[in-house]
Homo-oligomer: A and B are copies of this chain.
Amino acid sequence: MMDLAQAIKQLARQTKAAARVLASASTVEKDKALRAMARALRAQKAFLQEQNQLDLEGARAHGLSPAMLDRLTLSDPVIEGMAVGLEEVAAFPDPVGEIVRMWRRPNQLLVGKMRIPLGVVGMIYESRPNVTADATGLCLKSGNGVILRGGSEAFNSNLAVLRVLHEALRGTAIPPEAIQVVPFVERQAINHLLECEEEIDLIIPRGGEGLIRFVVEHSRIPVIKHYKGVCHIYVDAGADLEMARKIVVNAKVQRPGVCNAAETILVHKEVAAAFLPLMVADLKAEQVEIRGCPKTLALVSDLVPAEEADWGAEYLALVVAVRVVDDFEEALAHIAVYASDHTETIITSDYQRSQEFLRRVNSSVVMINASTRFSDGGQMGLGAEIGISTTRLHAYGPMGLEGLTTTKYIIYGSGQIRE
């Protein structure tokens, strides 16, 4: 009998072989496959929900919270959302084959860069079973094989989604083996997957910081990740305070549990007295708890004093830290120390400072006069998003189809030899 390590290795080898075929597939073939997959998900709704029921029963037996059960459920709208997601990816331009740039050398060689797939992507995630379809769509469109390993609580649901997608691929030019779900529930399977450095080109973990740290520690394969999002809004002297109020409320309140929600507001001392009482009233009206620096507390009563741990905290909740800064440089210095390289925004009417902020803050997304909530692949026009990277290598920021490719150099010669 084959042991688990060998079984995973064989799965990875199959995926790699199929990914080579997928890498050369035409855009028409890939889009046809994506649309067939969307149709199959809709047609097989009953089967998906029946298999999902097995996971839901197990989850209830394990006492999972109602919120967790909700995430796990393949309801009608969730399945429709998966199908629509695949159709949207089909409608997006194919990144593969794009000539990024081309230039001619003095000896008439024409040198360019052509976009190609990465190879095989390993996805390790805790989230909802719809990720199984979403990640598959992005990988297929970008010509990459994918090996998916979801949470054990969604084991049957993920395998059911895979079965439906595989059947949909039967009538297409795409080999079904290019898409795999690890068919072993043991946690040790993750370790074996992370050792397949000959077959897998990139690992993307999605989930809590614990999962991500586990993956980074055990992987021999490059990992693209972000641990957390501690996003800052800096309200500059002379900022449009009405605009600042709307952006602060939107960035903190619209969806507080996500990584692009704002966690710290920095306010220039010149506008602090005029702005902070209004901002605090806005936020309190939305049930936000405000933790302020001493200068903030001096301007607005009834706030919680911020402690050192508040700077750099990712609350993911209706809590925000507020600090008054003496000037632009102090705001930049605060961001340099406490930011997580995710997203920072300046609210300003000053041309010079807007450009300085863009130039000197090297977070993965840097904004002027916009809500941090726009730091999102879909909102930024990258198509769907497979993850976010605060690793500076390869991808930095929201990672969509283009982030799932690399470029090779192509050279058109006419017999040149080197002197």
**Chain A residues within 8 Å of B, Cβ to Cβ:** 20, 23-24, 97, 103, 105, 109, 111, 114, 116-119, 201-202, 222, 240, 243, 246-247, 249-251, 254, 336, 345, 358-360, 362-371, 373-375, 379-381, 391-394, 396-398, 406-418
Which residues in B have their C-beta under 8 angstroms from that of A201? 392-393
Are A417 and B250 in touch, CB under 8 angstroms? yes
Which residues in B have their C-beta under 8 angstroms from that of A369? 412-416
Copies in the complex: 2
Are B373 and A222 in touch, CB under 8 angstroms? no
Are B370 and A246 in touch, CB under 8 angstroms? no
Are B408 and A365 in touch, CB under 8 angstroms? yes
Are A409 and B380 in touch, CB under 8 angstroms? yes
Q: Apart from A250-B418, A393-B393, what are 13 other A-B pairs with CB-CB below 8 Å?
A: A105-B380, A222-B222, A222-B391, A240-B415, A243-B415, A368-B412, A370-B412, A370-B415, A370-B416, A373-B418, A392-B406, A393-B406, A396-B406
Return the contact of A392 from the options B97, B119, B336, B373 (Cβ within 8 A): B119
| Chain B residue at minimal CB-CB distance from A249 | B417
15 A-B contacts, Cβ less than 8 Å apart?
Answer: A20-B336, A97-B359, A105-B381, A109-B374, A111-B381, A243-B415, A250-B417, A367-B411, A368-B413, A371-B413, A375-B409, A394-B406, A396-B406, A396-B409, A398-B409
A29 to chain B, nearest CB (A): 14
